[in-house]
Structure 1
Amino acid sequence: MKWPDDATDWPMREYSQHILCRPHRWHIQRAGNGPRLLLIHGAGGATQSWRNLYPLLEPFFELLAVDLPGQGFTRSGAQSRHGLDPMAEDLLSLLHDIDFEPDAIIGHSAGTAIALRMVEMECSAKSVLGINAALGNFEGVAGWLFPFLAKALALTPFAANVFATTTTRSSVRQLLIGTGSKIDERGEDLYYRLATNPEHVDGTLSMMAQWSLDGLLKRLGTITTDTHLLACTIDNAVPFSVSERADARLPNSSLTKMDGLGHLAHEEDAETVANWIFEKLQTKNAAAG
């Protein structure tokens, strides 16, 4: 996406930096002091996903939010590096270059899988917190059909342009409603701006086409990092059962069930999600003060 021409009002823009760490030109947002938290959004999102949570956490932590390769304002320098392992590797390289060793990683949806892969690769984080963590493959016909369609679209010339130019506000609204979440007009507008940008769409399609959790899922039982999962009962994108199965396999895991919220819980009710984070990272008393 162009910067700054179409992003003068982008959330947390005052904290934005653009960092060249090959192969990508990253967009990051870094602010605050205290224990270090890395924030990783899910597929199709960007740093705007944290717009309501960021100001609640910033007084107590040093935060680093990133746009994944090809998504948001991160310019991808290698289309072949949008899968789980390459993104985890490239994120670790970025952290090394900017001297940011996270104490914990907060991931939303697919961002949780990236976080767990990073700790497998000896990231410094002592805890991983997953919000509606996408730690399961599509089942049945969808298990092969969805990745096949994503790969086909990613390889089709101009597919991203066609998608971006034909997307309407109504279709974005319906997509968000389909997650089970109730997003305000501001949030809807930000997702519309992402969905109508060909570069962002292309990056999202590439991530979906290259995405595979098979290896990570097989190794869940060997990941000893403290992991805390927050799963919402009306999440229509990642069913609650996905977090239940992951929690049962992860050796040092806790699972919190949250009623009444959907897949984008941290955008719907940032205060409740922030309190969960404070509790799991044992900073609740400091936050209350």
Structure 2
Amino acid sequence: MRRPDWTIDGRDWPNRVASRFVPAGGIVWHVQVMGEGPAALLLHGTGAATHSWAGLMPLLARRFTVIAPDLPGHGFTGMPPGEGLSLPAMAAGVAALAAALGHAPRIAVGHSAGAAVLARMAIDGAIAPEVLVALNGALVPIRNGPGELPWFSGLARLMATLPVVPWVLSWQAADRATVERLLRGTGSTIPPENVTFYTRLLRRPGHVAAALGMMAAWDLAALARDLPRLAVPLVLVVGTNDRTVPPEEAERVRALVPSARIVALPGLGHLAHEERPDLVAAAIEEAALAPAGP
């Protein structure tokens, strides 16, 4: 299944000079490393890639060694075999990558599903950062959302196993206006160049197949049951206009992790870090200085 091609799709990739390809955990990862100082690990969400950190990485690199991989099957990272898109498998894969790079993250930052990967890693003892920052984190099944409906996981698995589905979805993404509508539906207005990179990725059936496979394989209910065991200080950065993970979900997470601190970003949506990387960088730096406490 056709995947993004670094020589074609990555020809003008954001922060391209920071890119490298690293074998770890049975696949080859595309990862960007930038800056100096304590390590900060950044994980994007479902269907995205390192381009989503384009504006944020240089800001954090003034203080940290920033490490941002494409998740398995996403962007320019290889597709894992078997059950490699499940949450525990992705957590183990990222841990293998961090070990291969020789970095133990002091700060862990995850957007949406990326926050769930980091939480799983921390709970399992794969990382022990001083703080975990969830940017509009998808840490629990959304109340009254599709993840709580019995048919959803089965439907997602069916879509992921039908070879024609990724091709159809990528064909629809050939229309930039379709991608623009999809992104506006998150509650965010992002720079036009970011829309271009999303469009480029979504035109590749292999990238779409990874996003579908990830949704089919994940079990956030299991993560929610384990969240009370999270020993790492948790900061929930929430865009008040998020239409993907409703802002009130942060309170449900704090009910499970009472020490969690909520930081609201008024007027920003699910892709807040792409809308206002300056505000998100400031929130992350503040969390790094004072990670503990509600």
TM-score, scaled relative to structure 2: 0.93
- Say whether 1:71 aligns with 2:74: yes
CA deviation profile, 1:196-251 (whole Å, cap 9, x unmatched) = 11111011111011011112101211212111011111100000111111023214
1:148 corresponds to: 154
User: Could you tell me how far apart the structure 2 residues matched to 1:141 and 1:217 are?
Assistant: 15
2:26 corresponds to: 23
CA deviation profile, 1:236-271 (whole Å, cap 9, x unmatched) = 000011111102321431111221100000000111
Q: 1:49 aligns with which of 52, 55, 61?
A: 52
User: Could you tell me how far apart the structure 2 residues matched to 1:108 and 1:176 are?
Assistant: 15
CA deviation profile, 1:75-112 (whole Å, cap 9, x unmatched) = 11314210110000111111112211101110000111
CA deviation profile, 1:36-94 (whole Å, cap 9, x unmatched) = 10000000100011001011111110010010000010011314210110000111111
2:210 corresponds to: 203
Q: 1:223 aligns with which of 230, 235, 245?
A: 230
CA deviation profile, 1:137-165 (whole Å, cap 9, x unmatched) = 14447223433332111110232122112
How well do the aligned residues superpose, as a CA RMSD in angstroms? 1.4
Question: Helix, strand or coil: the match of 1:30?
Answer: strand
Aligned length: 283
Q: Spell out the pairing of 1:111-150 with structure 2 (5 A cutoff).
A: 111-122=114-125, 123-140=127-144, 142=146, 143-144=148-149, 145-150=151-156
Question: Helix, strand or coil: the match of 1:6?
Answer: coil
Change (3 A) 1:193 1:96: same
User: Could you tell me how far apart the structure 2 residues matched to 1:38 and 1:231 are?
Assistant: 19
User: Could you tell me how far apart the structure 2 residues matched to 1:271 and 1:79 are?
Assistant: 39
User: Could you tell me how far apart the structure 1 residues matched to 2:103 and 2:250 are?
Assistant: 29
Determine if contact 1:222/1:251 at 8 Å carries over to the other structure: no
Give the % identical residues.
36
1:85 corresponds to: 88
User: Could you tell me how far apart the structure 2 residues matched to 1:181 and 1:194 are?
Assistant: 19
User: Could you tell me how far apart the structure 2 residues matched to 1:177 and 1:18 are?
Assistant: 32
Determine if contact 2:123/2:226 at 8 Å carries over to the other structure: no
Change (3 A) 1:151 1:259: same
Question: Helix, strand or coil: the match of 1:281?
Answer: helix
Determine if contact 2:73/2:210 at 8 Å carries over to the other structure: yes
5+ residue gaps, structure 1, are 284-289
Determine if contact 2:172/2:178 at 8 Å carries over to the other structure: no
User: Could you tell me how far apart the structure 2 residues matched to 1:66 and 1:254 are?
Assistant: 26
Q: 1:7 aligns with which of 5, 10, 14?
A: 10
User: Could you tell me how far apart the structure 1 residues matched to 2:104 and 2:80 are?
Assistant: 24
Q: Spell out the pairing of 1:159-178 with structure 2 (5 A cutoff).
A: 159-167=165-173, 168-178=175-185
User: Could you tell me how far apart the structure 2 residues matched to 1:263 and 1:3 are?
Assistant: 27
5+ residue gaps, structure 2, are none
User: Could you tell me how far apart the structure 2 residues matched to 1:126 and 1:282 are?
Assistant: 10
